[in-house]
Structure 1
Amino acid sequence: MKASKELYSELFKEYILSSRDIRELQVVLYGMLEKVCFLLDKYNIDYMLSGGTLLGAIRHGGFIPWDDDVDIMMTRDNYDRFLKYQYELDDDLLFIEPLSSSRYYCKNPKIFKKNTKYVEISNANIDTFDMVFIDIFIIENAPKSKLHRAIRGFFYDVSYKGASVCMDYLFPSEPIINKARINNDLDKYYRLRRILGCIFSHFGGLYFYLRIVDKLGQYRKKTGLYCVPSAISYNREVFSAKIFETISESRFEQANYKIPRYYDIYLKNLYGDYMQIPPIEKREVHVAYKFKLFNYEKGERQNG
């Protein structure tokens, strides 16, 4: 069975972001990044570009042309320091972290841009925290024992997926349900997710699993190993602490931003031959049920 992103991208082509959409979104995201990093630098809080944002910096000197988000990461110690100063973010930005609001359902903190709108197909019926955002990923200590990491990763993965299917059960997406009536593969896929969501919702519930994810993500014992928690991270994406503790800089769009000094190790682990630009058919396609920047709005974009 295909992953949800791949399946939704194939079946909801009417919501695919155009090149113009993506570039305008990148301009907004870059403005957000400038403001966030200004605050971090002001208080000497270390952060690093991560994921596709770091890849864009190294390979393109800025955004990957088809990328639609910004990711930064920081160690738990630096994140705890950021919490003391996050109230100084500009008024047009909104910071939120897991379990701090009864209507926030993500496993990692985000910074949102007010007066914008960005809603994925799967979240079409959720009307809170539906704005353009920057992801913050917290770099945590990782257990030394491979067995410990495997067990921790397994329960993390089950809990994260449990929370995800709870969302589909509690907040079913109207456009997905409508299209499932005429697409058998989508009907089977979404029906299964909602059945599992019903089971998980009655045996624990959404916030129960989100709390487990949050608890398992934090490992306070210093081991000399780091990861950004996920089922994959605990088994494959575990790095020596020096990968994240030694920082350099790289150009990203109009200025230099902090990156891991040993970015090559990090990126090879994530992407393999990361300097090789993938063919068009293998690039991630982005769909947005609702999309609004400034006065430019596409609303519920049934007609593209």
Structure 2
Amino acid sequence: MEKNTKKIQQLEFEALTTIIKILEKNDLKYYLRGGSVMGAVKYKGFIPWDDDMDIALPREDYEKFIKLFSSDWSDKFWMASYRNGDNIHAYFPRILVKEEYRKAQGLPTNNHLGFSIIDILPIDGVPSTSLGRKIFIMHVAILRALGAVWTLDVKDTIMIHKPRRQRAIKFIKMLGVQHFYSQNDIYKKLEKVYSKKNTSSKWIGTITGSLFDKEIFPKEVFGEGVLKEFEGIKVRVPSQFDSYLKQLYGENYANEEPSDKKSHLEDKRLGEK
């Protein structure tokens, strides 16, 4: 596992540097997200056991990203998106290793499309009032649960929902609600909800991410971003990265390691390994 993780991290770094060059050439703003921010701040690179990366872009730049990376931009990597008809089972696009290169590198698969290495998430505005955010969060939770029903039947794709949410999703499937909508119908509904408010809102975030409502912050937490060292290069992270990481991972994130060291090479579904 450790050997594979190192190889995957090398591949992710190659993809990351390629993507950043394209983003900078096209004046698109990005931030590392989630555990990738932790890696930059705490380890000046990858979290030792982690095998995926996350990038977030403000909605306007996110839309440009999807158009830009829907073309053939690399001989080693490609972007999968439900908007392009890819059977990705995720609202947000993912960067994957092209199959020929994956096989040449002797890498396993971690979903039915091959090997996913970088998630691309939008940063969207959310309601500024506490009540507005509660209603927004509830709306998103329902839509995400409806969209995740189809993912339960795909055994070789990444499941980002925690066990309690997985149980709720299984209950929805048992009710048969999914027969009235397609997964892409739900993603289109999410699109409207997420993009309703722009990032000039006082509160913004990546609520479509795995940590759900924990990923909503006052706008100044992201700010213009600051550059941190990551495996010898400079990458952008949220301006108030300490507040960002404490909200996501707890007050002691800098001194503690998680008991669950996640790996996307292992299935996170209920009762499965």
TM-score range (shorter-chain normalised) is 0.7 to 0.9
Conservation of the 8 A alpha-carbon contact between 1:152 and 1:234: no
1:277 to 256, 259, 268: 256
1:197 to 170, 173, 186: 173
Tell whether 2:5 aligns with 1:22.
yes
Give the CA RMSD over aligned residues.
3.0
Q: Which amino acid aligns with 2:43?
A: H
How far the C-alpha of 1:38 sits from its partner, in A, is: 0.9
Find the counterpart in structure 2 of residue 98 from structure 1.
82
Q: Which amino acid aligns with 2:62?
A: Y
Q: Secondary structure at the match of 2:91?
A: coil
Q: Deviations over 1:201-252 (max 9, x none)?
A: 2232323322222222212343222111249977543322232232211111
Conservation of the 8 A alpha-carbon contact between 1:149 and 1:234: no
2:146 to 124, 144, 162: 162
Q: Which amino acid aligns with 2:143?
A: S
**Number of paired residues?**
251
Unaligned runs of at least 5 residues, structure 2: 157-162, 268-273
How far the C-alpha of 1:101 sits from its partner, in A, is: 0.9
Q: Which amino acid aligns with 1:29?
A: E
Conservation of the 8 A alpha-carbon contact between 1:139 and 1:226: yes
Superposition map of 1:1-304 within 5 A: 18-86=1-69, 87=71, 89-101=73-85, 103-115=87-99, 116=102, 119-120=109-110, 127=112, 129-169=113-153, 171=154, 173=155, 196-197=172-173, 199-221=176-198, 222-230=200-208, 235-272=213-250, 273-278=252-257, 281-288=259-266
Q: Secondary structure at the match of 1:31?
A: helix
Conservation of the 8 A alpha-carbon contact between 1:166 and 1:200: no
Query: Which whole-Å CA distance do the structure 1 matches of 2:201 and 2:168 have between them?
Result: 40
Q: Which amino acid aligns with 2:243?
A: I
Q: Which amino acid aligns with 1:201?
A: Q
Unaligned runs of at least 5 residues, structure 1: 1-17, 175-185, 290-304
TM-score, normalised with respect to structure 1: 0.72
Q: Secondary structure at the match of 2:149?
A: helix
Query: Which whole-Å CA distance do the structure 1 matches of 2:52 and 2:210 have between them?
Result: 21
- Percent of aligned positions that are identical: 23
Q: Which has the greater radius of gyration? A: 1
Counterparts in 2 of 1:191 and 1:241: CA distance versus 1, 3 Å: closer
Q: Secondary structure at the match of 1:132?
A: strand
How far the C-alpha of 1:33 sits from its partner, in A, is: 0.4
Q: Which amino acid aligns with 1:89?
A: W
How far the C-alpha of 1:71 sits from its partner, in A, is: 0.7
